[in-house]
Amino acid sequence: MPVSLNYLVKRIFWSLLIIIGVIILSYIIIISAPGDPARIWAGNPRGEKAIYAIQKAREELGLDQPLPIQILKYTLQILSGNMGISIEYRVPVVDIIWRGLTATLELLVVSYIIGVSIGILLGVESALRRGSRFDGLMQSLAIILANAPSFWLGIGVIVLLAETIGFTGYGRIDPYIMYQTGFHPITGFYLLDALIQGNFAVFIDVFLRILPPAIVVATYPLGLGLRVSRALIAENLNEDYVRVAVAWGIKRKIVIWKYAFRGAIPSLTQVMGLAFAYSLIDAMIVEVVFGREGLGSIAFSIIGKSDYTLITGLMVTVTIFYILMNTLADILQAIIDPRVKL
């Protein structure tokens, strides 16, 4: 393994530092915003005694303490896996976010499988035929897909499906089928749950509902994967080792995938790993467009509600997800690339 333990420890320690910074910064941004969460926690009291009720609520929430102590408490709380109780819904924030995160991740993973596999296949093909009309077409397709606003594509897909085959089934799952077949979530990833329970009716239903939004989210990784793999492989095809392999009479397929593509895997992993973190936001927007549950719709349900615990929890979750993905992509790239010595 080309990665030294020293590098790993340093990289992980740095990420941990950033995660702590993110928690502190999120708390400061949220707490310095106007609006009084204590008033809502107290149930919007009116009348003469209201001031005492609000004061009591403020003590309960710990908002009466000095800011540095609040921040310290909050950071320790988050690091121990507790995000407090939602002001709006009065249930633990972790439960709400876990439910949303599984829904969003399910969409993201499905769209990533679609986007990356098609993107790489097209990228390899156009690298092999560089300069041809097909290559030009793919290059334009990639740049258009990478620049299309996802919410607009989502609307386009909804209109298109409704006009052609009359499909309007959105949301995550049909509650009727769910009730009839006795489906119950275990992990929160419905596709996985359906497979575990051997419930194919639910699996097909969930899959058909996830497909249209997944295609929309897939456009970004598809465009990016196409461009990156095309450029990397086109470069590798010019290398001497590929030329030697061809001269030796090794089969074309093996030269492409075992020689040229193998050299592109590390960089590709890193780029696509980073893009995975970005696509989370894309998935959240597309979710709202398609009316699915998930992190995006949770964020929308609390607009104007001053629910500071839930929004900080959400902010921390999304940023930590990004940092983890970034770290993972870096480490993974270093592990699989024999040329990198760290």
Strand partners, 92: 85
Q: Does 257 bind another protein (CB under 8 A)?
A: no
Residues 211-250 within binding reach of another protein (CB under 8 A): 224, 228, 231
Stretch that binds another protein, among 45-53, 91-99, 243-251, 311-319 (CB under 8 A): 311-319
Task: Kindly tell me which residue out of 150, 199, 219, 236 binds another protein, with binding defined by CB under 8 A.
Answer: 150
Q: Which of 113, 110, 116, 105 lies closest to 224, judged by CA?
A: 116
Q: Does 71 bind another protein (CB under 8 A)?
A: no
Stretch that binds another protein, among 96-104, 118-126, 239-247, 285-293 (CB under 8 A): 285-293
Nearest distance from residue 308's CB to another protein, in Å?
7
Nearest distance from residue 137's CB to another protein, in Å?
13
Q: Does 146 bind another protein (CB under 8 A)?
A: yes
**What tokens appear for 214 in the block?**
């997944």
Q: Does 158 bind another protein (CB under 8 A)?
A: yes
Task: Kindly tell me which residue out of 12, 60, 300, 341 binds another protein, with binding defined by CB under 8 A.
Answer: 300
Q: How far apart are CA 311 and CA 307, in angstroms?
A: 6
Residues 6+ away with beta carbon under 8 Å from 141: 122, 223, 226
Query: Contact at 8 Å (CB) between 209 and 171?
Result: yes
Task: Kindly tell me which residue out of 83, 302, 331, 334 binds another protein, with binding defined by CB under 8 A.
Answer: 302
**What tokens appear for 189 in the block?**
């990833």
* Cβ closest to another protein, residue 48 vs residue 240: 240
Q: Which of 81, 79, 108, 80 lies closest to 94, judged by CA?
A: 81
Q: How far apart are CA 83 and CA 86, in angstroms?
A: 9
Q: Does 16 bind another protein (CB under 8 A)?
A: no
**CA neighbours closer than 13 Å in the CB half-sphere of residue 211:** 11
Q: Does 52 bind another protein (CB under 8 A)?
A: no
Q: Does 342 bind another protein (CB under 8 A)?
A: no
Q: How far apart are CA 340 and CA 327, in angstroms?
A: 16
Residues 6+ away with beta carbon under 8 Å from 152: none
Q: Does 96 bind another protein (CB under 8 A)?
A: no
* Cβ closest to another protein, residue 102 vs residue 333: 333
Stretch that binds another protein, among 69-77, 138-146, 177-185, 205-213 (CB under 8 A): 138-146
Query: Contact at 8 Å (CB) between 161 and 167?
Result: yes
What 3-state class would DSSP assign to 66?
A: coil
The site string for another protein over 24-43 (x = CB under 8 A, - otherwise) reads: -x---xx--xxx--------
Residue 304 burial (CB count, 10 A) = 6
Q: How far apart are CA 20 and CA 3, in angstroms?
A: 25
Chain positions contacting another protein, by CB under 8 A: 17-18, 21-22, 25, 29-30, 33-35, 143-144, 146-152, 155-156, 158-159, 162, 224, 228, 231, 267, 270-271, 274-275, 278, 280-281, 284-285, 288-289, 299-300, 302-308, 311, 314-315, 318-319, 322-323, 326
